[in-house]
Structure 1
Amino acid sequence: MAELVRVALVALGSSLPVVMIGGLIIRVARGWSVTVSMVALVLIPTLATFAGVFWSSRFMTEPNFEAIAVVLVIVAVVTLPSAVMMARYQARQTVWEQEIQDAEAAAEQSRRQLVAFVSHDLRTPLAGIRALAEAIADGIVSQDEVRDQAKRIEHESIRLQEMVDDLFEMAKINAGAVNAPYDRVALDEVVDDVMSAHGIAAERAGVTLEAELPAKAVRVIGSDRALVRVLSNLVANAIAHTPAGGRVKLSVGADREGAWARVDDTGVGIDAADLPRVFDVAYRGSNDRVPRSDSSLPSGSGLGLAIAAGLVRAHRGSLSVHNLNRGARFEVRLPLAAD
C-alpha cells in the first residue's frame, strides 16, 4: 500500500508541473492562432502522461510496463497529427465565420449609412419642388415668372431622377447583381461618349475639358455602357471640384499591367485623411464642391464615386486616387482584351 502511495505521489509530482506550464502556454497563446492553441491542448495531457509514467516507472516491477510504454508512444504518434489537422480545420472554420460576420456587419452598416445619406439628400429637391408648386398654385408667382419657376422644377426633377438611378445602380452593386458582359470595348470610343456628354457642362462651369488618346486603340473586355458610366462619374466629380479657369484631362493608355484611364484635374485636391474613404457610399469629403453661379449645372447624387468603384470591380479592375501637385488623379485599371 505504501508503495502505491509513493508511486502516485511521484506520478502527480512529475505530471502536475507539465500541466501548469501547459496552462501558462495556453494563456499566453490566446492571441495566437487557433491551430497553436488546439495543438497545445492535445500535447499537454500527452506530455503529462509521459512524464508521470516515466518518473514512476522505476517503482513498477510488472513485466508488461514496456508494452504500456509502446502503447503510449503509438497513441501519441496517431493523436498529434490528427490534432494538428483538426486544429487547422477548426481554425479555418473560425476565420471563415468571423469573415462572414464582419461582412454582414459591414453590409448592415453600409445600408444604414445609405438610408441616412439618401433621406437627407432627397429632402432638398423635394422641398424645392413642393415650395415652387405651392407658390404657383397659390398665385404668388406672377405669370411672367411661371416659366422660370417651371424650369427650376424641371431641374429639381432631373436631379431626383439621377438620384433614383444612382440608388438603383448602387443597390445592384451591393447585391452583387452587376456582371459585366464579355464584349470587346475600345476605350477611345468610351472617351468620345464621355467628352460629348460633359463638354457643355464643363464649358458652362468655365473648366477646360480635354482628352488624350494613344495612337493604337486600347481594348478591354466588359460593358461599354458601364465604362461610360464610370468615366462620366469621374469626370463629373472632377468638374465639380475644379474652379473656373481650371482643367480636367481624360487620358487612356496601356502598359504591362493592363489598360488604364486617368482623370486629372486642377481642383482643390483631397485631404490625406479622406483618401482611404473616397469611394465609401456615405463619404462626405472635407473639401466641398466649387460653388457655381449656374444652378442648372448638375450636382449629382453623391454616390458617383462609390458606383464607379463598384462597376470597376465588376470588370475585375481597380480604381485608385491620389493627389497631384495641383488637384487629384483618379485612375482606372482594367485587364486588356486578348488580341
Structure 2
Amino acid sequence: MLALPDIGLIALTTAICTAVVMLVAAGVLRLNRRGRVAAQFAVVVCAAVASIVSSVLAVMVEMFLSTHDLTVLVWVVAIATLVSLVATWAMVSRAVSVSVGRLAESARHIAAGAVIEPADPGWREFNDLHARLVDASEQLALARGEVEKLDQARRQFFAWISHDLRTPLAGIRAMSEAIDDGVAPEPGAYIRTIRTRVDTLTDLVDDLFALSTLQSGTLRLERELVPLLDLVSDAVVDVRDAAASRGIRIEHRDIEGHMLWADPRELSRAVGNLLANAVRHAPAGSDVLVTASHRGDDHLIVSVLDQGPGVASEDLGRMFDVGWRAGSARTVDSDSPTGPGAGLGLAIVRGIAEAHGGGVGARHVADGFEMSIVLPVGEPAAGMR
C-alpha cells in the first residue's frame, strides 16, 4: 500500500503536469480564437490526452522503473495516444465540421431570402439550432412579405392621394380660368363650386395631418370625463346635412347614461367618420343607427349600423388600413356632401381608438353592416393622459 508521502508526490506531480499542459492549451486556444470549431475541439482533446500522458510518464520516472520497462510504457502510451487522437478526429471532429458546414449553408440560404427545410445536421444541439434557423427563415419570409405589402400599399396610397389632389385642383384651375377669361356662363355658381372644392382639399389635407400625428405617436389626448350622448350628438351635427340630402335618418339607441374618459374632440371626430362612411354607402332613404353596449365592466362598444351591403368578408380586416377603399374607382367626387372619401377616414378612426387604448371592428349583421369602436371606460393611468 502506498504511503501518504508517495500519494502526495503523485498528486503534486499530476497537478503540475496537468497545469502546465492546460496553460499551453489555453495559450494555443487564445492564439487560435478565430479558428475553426474543429481545430479548437482538437486542441482541447489533445490537451486532455497530453495531460494524462505527461502525468503518467512523470510518475513512472519518479518510481525509478528500469529503462526497459520505461521504454515499453512510453511505446504503449504513445501508440494509445496516437490511435485515440485519430479515432477522436474521425468520429467527433469531422462530425462537428460537417454539422457546422451544414448550419453555415443554411445561414447562407436564409441570407439569400430562402426558406430552409427542416433537417438533422448532427448532434442534438446542432439539430436544435437548425430548427431555430428554420423558424427564423419562416419568420423572415413572412416579414419580407409584409414589408412588400406595406411598400406596395404605400406606393398605391401616394398614387391615389396625388390623384385625389390633382382632380379638384384641375377643376379649380379650369373654372378660375373661365371666370378670368369672362367665358363662365354663371360666375357665381363657378365660385361656389370652387369654394366647395377648396373645402374638400382642406378636409383632405387635415385628414393627412391627423393621420401623420396618429401614426407618429405625437397626438396628445386631452382626456376628460364626458357623456357619450354629447359626443354622438356633435358627430351627428357634422353629417346631418349630408344625410338629409340623401333622405337618410340618423337615430340612436342606448346612448344615454354612458360616461367615459376620452378626448371629446378626437372621439367625436372618430364617431363622425363612422357616420360619414355609413351615410356615404347606405341606401338613400334608409336609417343609420348608433348604439352603445358594455363589454364586460371596463369597455364600451359604440356601433354604427347602416342598411348597406358593407364590404366583402375578405376585406373586413383591411378596411381600416390607410388608403383602402372598397370601390375600384379612384375618382374623387368633389361635390359629395360626405367628403372626399380618400380612404383616410376609417384609418383615422382606428388611430384615434388605439390612442385611447381601444380598437375597432366591422361585421355583417342581419340588419346590414356594422362598424364599431371599442373604448375603455375607466380613468386612464397618469402616464396615458
Q: Using structure 1 for the length normalisation, give the TM-score.
A: 0.70
Q: For residues 101 and 174 of structure 1, do their structure 2 counterparts lie closer, same or farther at Cα, with a shift above 3 Å needed?
A: farther
Q: Where in structure 2 are the equivalents of 1:245-256 lying within 5 Å?
A: 245-256=285-296
1:238 and 2:278 matched: yes
Alignment check: 8 A CA contact 2:361 2:371 kept: yes
Report the CA distance between 1:246 and its aligned residue.
1.8
Q: SS at 2:302's partner residue?
A: strand
Q: Where in structure 2 are the equivalents of 1:183-262 lying within 5 Å?
A: 183-215=224-256, 217-256=257-296, 258-262=299-303
Alignment check: 8 A CA contact 1:202 1:208 kept: yes
Equivalent pairs: percent with the same residue? 29
Q: Which amino acid aligns with 1:190?
A: L
C-alpha deviations, 1:82-119, integer Å up to 9, x for none? xx9xxx9xxxxx9x999999998887666544432221
Alignment check: 8 A CA contact 1:270 1:287 kept: no
C-alpha deviations, 1:10-52, integer Å up to 9, x for none? 2233325753785598589979xxxxx9xx99956xxxxxxxx
C-alpha separation in 2, matches of 1:123 and 1:270: 27
Larger mean CA deviation between 119-128 and 15-24 belongs to 15-24
Match of 2:348 among 298, 307, 320: 307
C-alpha separation in 2, matches of 1:271 and 1:8: 70
Q: For residues 140 and 318 of structure 1, do their structure 2 counterparts lie closer, same or farther at Cα, with a shift above 3 Å needed?
A: same
Q: SS at 1:236's partner residue?
A: helix
Name 1:13's counterpart in structure 2.
90
Q: SS at 1:277's partner residue?
A: coil
Q: For residues 295 and 282 of structure 1, do their structure 2 counterparts lie closer, same or farther at Cα, with a shift above 3 Å needed?
A: closer
Q: Which amino acid aligns with 1:130?
A: R
Q: SS at 1:261's partner residue?
A: strand
Q: Which amino acid aligns with 1:158?
A: D
Q: SS at 2:250's partner residue?
A: strand
C-alpha separation in 1, matches of 2:275 and 2:191: 29
Name 1:131's counterpart in structure 2.
174
Q: Which has the higher contact order (CA 8 A, sep 6+)?
A: 1
Q: Which amino acid aligns with 1:195?
A: V
The unaligned stretches of length 5 or more in structure 1 are 32-36, 45-83, 89-93
Report the CA distance between 1:309 and its aligned residue.
0.7
Match of 1:169 among 202, 210, 220: 210
Match of 1:285 among 326, 338, 352: 326
Q: Which amino acid aligns with 1:239?
A: V
Aligned pair count reads 284
Larger mean CA deviation between 161-170 and 8-17 belongs to 8-17
Alignment check: 8 A CA contact 1:201 1:297 kept: yes
C-alpha separation in 1, matches of 2:351 and 2:364: 21
The unaligned stretches of length 5 or more in structure 2 are 1-77, 111-118, 381-385
Report the CA distance between 1:244 and its aligned residue.
0.8
Match of 1:264 among 305, 327, 352: 305
Alignment check: 8 A CA contact 2:223 2:264 kept: no
Q: Where in structure 2 are the equivalents of 1:30-179 lying within 5 Å?
A: 43=125, 111-142=154-185, 145-179=186-220
C-alpha separation in 2, matches of 1:153 and 1:10: 90
Q: For residues 29 and 136 of structure 1, do their structure 2 counterparts lie closer, same or farther at Cα, with a shift above 3 Å needed?
A: closer
Larger mean CA deviation between 157-166 and 189-198 belongs to 189-198
C-alpha separation in 2, matches of 1:110 and 1:296: 25
Alignment check: 8 A CA contact 1:269 1:326 kept: no
C-alpha deviations, 1:224-283, integer Å up to 9, x for none? 000010000000001100121222111123231511100011113101222221011121
Name 1:53's counterpart in structure 2.
none
Q: For residues 114 and 295 of structure 1, do their structure 2 counterparts lie closer, same or farther at Cα, with a shift above 3 Å needed?
A: closer
The RMSD of aligned alpha carbons is: 4.1
Report the CA distance between 1:317 and its aligned residue.
0.4
Q: Which amino acid aligns with 1:15?
A: V
Alignment check: 8 A CA contact 2:197 2:335 kept: no
C-alpha separation in 1, matches of 2:338 and 2:376: 32
Q: Where in structure 2 are the equivalents of 1:312-331 lying within 5 Å?
A: 312-331=353-372
Name 1:276's counterpart in structure 2.
317
C-alpha deviations, 1:286-318, integer Å up to 9, x for none? 4779x99x9452333331011111111100000
